[in-house]
Amino acid sequence: MYLRIVQRRLAPIQNNLIRTYKYQSKVFGYNAELKTHGNTEEIANSLRDYNQARQANPHAALLIDAYRKHGHRLATIDPLGININTSIPELDANIFTVDFNVTNEDDVRSLFGGLSRQRSIPKTKDDLIRQLEEIYCQSISLECEHIESDIERLWVARRFEQLRTSETVSDDIQQRITEQMRRCETFDQFLQAKFPTLKRYSGEGAEGMMAFFDLAFKHSAQLNIDNVVVCMPHRGRNNLLVCLLNYPAATMFRKIKGKREFPNDVKSTGDVLSHLYTTTDLTYDGKNVHVSLIPNPSHLEVN
């Protein structure tokens, strides 16, 4: 009798454990039901067109897949020119047989996102390889094979191809990005010169984050989003505070020198340099967005 009571009481717990720790998709833990965002009919139609294009051009599909998986390995992203691959077996042109015989250009465009309306349809294998190398083997490339969802991985690859071939960045935007990165770099150089022993978690090597945050805040303002809350790790945090979020540099330097952050009659102490926070209003094209970089009192937050 006692055993039956215990079993009945343990049953909900056992069921919960099974539910919580089931193993799916290489993730040890409970997986919530996947929700599809956007127009599901549009996604289904796009996927159907893509599959039809693969069936009509199977050899071209294999070649495109190869560059999507391995093209980044030939990208010229080593500024010192030390580790540069000139060829890899997976992209050896001799192992691919491509015969287009295109009768419907839309089929090929569905297969390869790099074909904008302004670009000509490749007629030979060499034409396709040249276009793929322009996209994946230059100073910017893409590696997205870690994405488990086939639909998401395909969307990322096609979107990257479209951006690389059909969209350009205006001179004004390029100048703004350059100014932001230079400001970030100069800030690090100044701290290194004035406070050489400071553990500052610099943003060196990640100056591009300034352009990312600036664009994210700009789009938020354009979408009439009132508040943006940012949670980030230590590295580059001070750069973002001073160079984009209007945190007073003098206040930060005062803290670095060990001076009090509060009036003398206030019995309190501040946090360490890498846990500073701020809140500010940014304006883009006449629209405001309130941005808050939250405090970092522990290392337990999800970044």
pLDDT digits (tens, 9 = 90+) for 156-205: 998 888 887 776 778 888 899 999 999 999 999 999 999 998 888 888 88
pLDDT at 2: 39
pLDDT score at 266: 79
**With bands split at pLDDT 50, 70 and 90, how would you rate the model's confidence at 7?**
very low
- Three-state DSSP class for 63? helix
Read off the pLDDT band of 298 (50, 70, 90): low
Q: Contact at 8 Å (CB) between 70 and 89?
A: no
* pLDDT tens sequence across 115-163: 655 566 777 788 888 888 989 998 889 999 988 888 888 889 988 888 8
Within 10 angstroms of residue 111's Cβ, the number of other Cβ atoms is 21
What is the rounded CA–CA span in Å between residue 234 and residue 206? 12
- Element of type H or E holding 230: strand 227-230
Ordered DSSP codes for 149-186:
-HHHHHHHHHHHHHHHHH----HHHHHHHHHHHHHHHH
Residue with tokens 């089931």: 22
Q: Are strands 227-230 and 287-293 parallel, antiparallel or unpaired?
A: parallel
The whole-model pTM stands at 0.61
pLDDT reading at 4 higher than 50 = no
pLDDT classification of 52: cutoffs 50, 70, 90: confident
pLDDT score at 115 = 61
Q: With 70 as the cut, is the pLDDT of residue 257 above it? A: yes
User: For residues 3 and 124, which has the higher predicted lDDT (pLDDT)?
Assistant: 124
